[in-house]
C-alpha cells in the first residue's frame, strides 16, 4: 500500500491505459478521481471501483477547475496528478492546422494547464506524472501530430520539474512502447497473443506491454520510494528504446538473411 492516504487525479481514465493506471493507484491504497468526458461510463466505473468521477473536457479550463474543486471537496486533499488524456488520430504531413491544434491542445497544452491549476493544491511531496511515449523519441513515417505532442510532453516534464522543485513537488514522465489498449485490440482483432507476436521483433522481451505494468511503475514513481527522482523520463517499454534500426541483430545475420532471400 505505497500510496495509502494519497489522493490522485488521472485524466483520460475511463478506458485504456488511463483506467489501468487508476486501478493500480487504487490497488496501492490511493483515493482516485477518474476523469473523462462520458459521464455515464465514468460514473458506472466509479461505482464499480469505489472511487470518484469528474466529467471533464481537458480542453476547457472551467471543467479543469471544477474537477479539482470536486476532488478537494470529496477527499479533502490532492497529492498526485497523472496527465494521461490523449488523442491518437494522426494524418502526418496531410494534417490540417485544425487537427494540429486539436491534438496539441489535448495531448500537451491540457497537461500544462492541469498542472498549473493543480500545483497550488499539491503539498510538499506532491507528484505530477506525464504519460509520454516512445513515439516522442523516434521518427515514424506517416505520423506527426502524436509524436510531436509526446516529444513536447517529455520537454515539458523537465521544465515543470525545475519550476516546481522549490516546492518539493516532483514531475516525471513515463514512456510506454506498444501496450495493449483499445487501439491495439482493434488492430489485432482483440487477440493479445497476435499482438504479442507482431510486436515481438521490436521489444527485446518478446511481447507488447500490459496496462497494469505501466500503472505499477506510475504508482512507484508517486511513492516515497521514488522521492529522489524528478525531471526524468522512465521508459516502460520492454526494451524498445535500446534497439537501433538493426533491431539488435548483428550485420552478419542481416547479410546472411539477405543471401538466403536471393
114, 146, 178, 240: which is the annotated catalytic residue?
146
Q: Which 8-state DSSP code applies to residue 237?
A: S
pLDDT at 22 over 90: yes
Q: Give me the phi and psi of 234, to 5 degrees please.
A: -110, 110
Of 42, 65, 62, nearest to 54 by C-alpha is 42
pLDDT, residue 249, reads 82
Domains of the chain listed by start with CATH number: 7-261 (3.40.50.720)
Tell me the pLDDT tens digit for each residue of 141-182: 999 999 999 999 999 999 999 999 999 999 999 999 999 999
Q: Please report which confidence band the pLDDT of residue 67 belongs to, taking 50, 70 and 90 as the band edges.
A: very high
Of 60, 233, 19, nearest to 137 by C-alpha is 233
88 is catalytic: no
pLDDT, residue 257, reads 86
Contact 57, 67 (CB under 8 A): no
Lowest average pLDDT, out of 32-46, 62-76, 103-117, 235-249, goes to: 235-249
Grid cell in block for residue 244: 537501433
Tell me the pLDDT tens digit for each residue of 227-246: 999 999 999 999 999 998 88
In angstroms, the CA 80 to CA 162 distance is 17
Interstrand relation of 127-131 and 80-83 (parallel, antiparallel or unpaired): parallel
Contact 146, 189 (CB under 8 A): no
Amino acid at each position: 500500500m505505497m500510496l495509502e492516504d494519497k489522493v490522485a487525479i488521472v485524466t483520460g481514465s475511463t478506458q485504456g491505459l488511463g483506467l489501468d493506471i487508476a486501478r493500480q493507484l487504487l490497488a496501492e491504497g490511493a483515493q482516485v478521481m477518474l476523469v473523462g468526458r462520458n459521464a455515464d461510463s465514468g460514473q458506472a466505473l466509479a461505482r464499480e471501483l469505489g472511487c470518484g468521477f469528474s466529467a471533464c473536457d481537458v480542453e476547457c479550463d472551467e471543467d479543469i477547475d471544477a474537477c479539482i474543486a470536486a476532488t478537494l471537496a470529496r477527499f479533502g486533499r490532492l497529492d498526485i496528478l497523472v496527465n494521461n488524456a490523449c488523442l491518437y488520430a494522426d494524418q502526418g504531413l496531410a494534417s490540417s492546422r485544425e487537427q494540429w491544434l486539436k491534438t496539441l491542445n489535448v495531448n500537451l497544452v491540457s497537461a500544462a494547464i492541469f498542472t498549473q491549476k493543480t500545483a497550488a493544491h499539491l503539498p510538499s511531496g506532491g507528484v505530477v506524472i506525464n504519460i509520454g511515449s516512445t513515439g516522442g523519441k523516434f521518427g515514424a513515417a506517416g505520423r506527426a501530430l502524436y509524436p510531436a505532442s509526446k516529444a513536447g510532453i517529455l520537454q515539458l516534464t523537465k521544465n515543470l520539474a525545475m519550476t516546481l522543485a522549490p516546492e518539493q513537488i516532483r514531475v516525471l514522465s513515463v514512456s510506454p512502447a506498444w501496450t495493449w489498449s483499445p487501439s491495439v485490440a482493434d488492430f489485432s482483432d482483440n487477440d493479445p497473443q497476435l499482438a504479442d507476436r507482431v510486436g515481438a521483433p521490436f521489444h527485446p522481451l518478446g511481447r507488447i506491454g500490459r496496462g497494469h505494468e505501466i500503472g505499477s511503475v506510475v504508482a512507484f514513481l508517486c511513492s516515497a520510494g521514488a522521492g529522489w527522482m524528478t525531471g526524468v523520463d522512465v521508459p516502460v517499454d520492454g526494451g524498445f528504446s535500446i534497439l537501433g534500426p538493426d533491431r539488435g541483430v548483428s550485420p552478419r545475420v542481416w547479410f546472411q538473411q539477405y543471401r538466403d532471400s536471393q
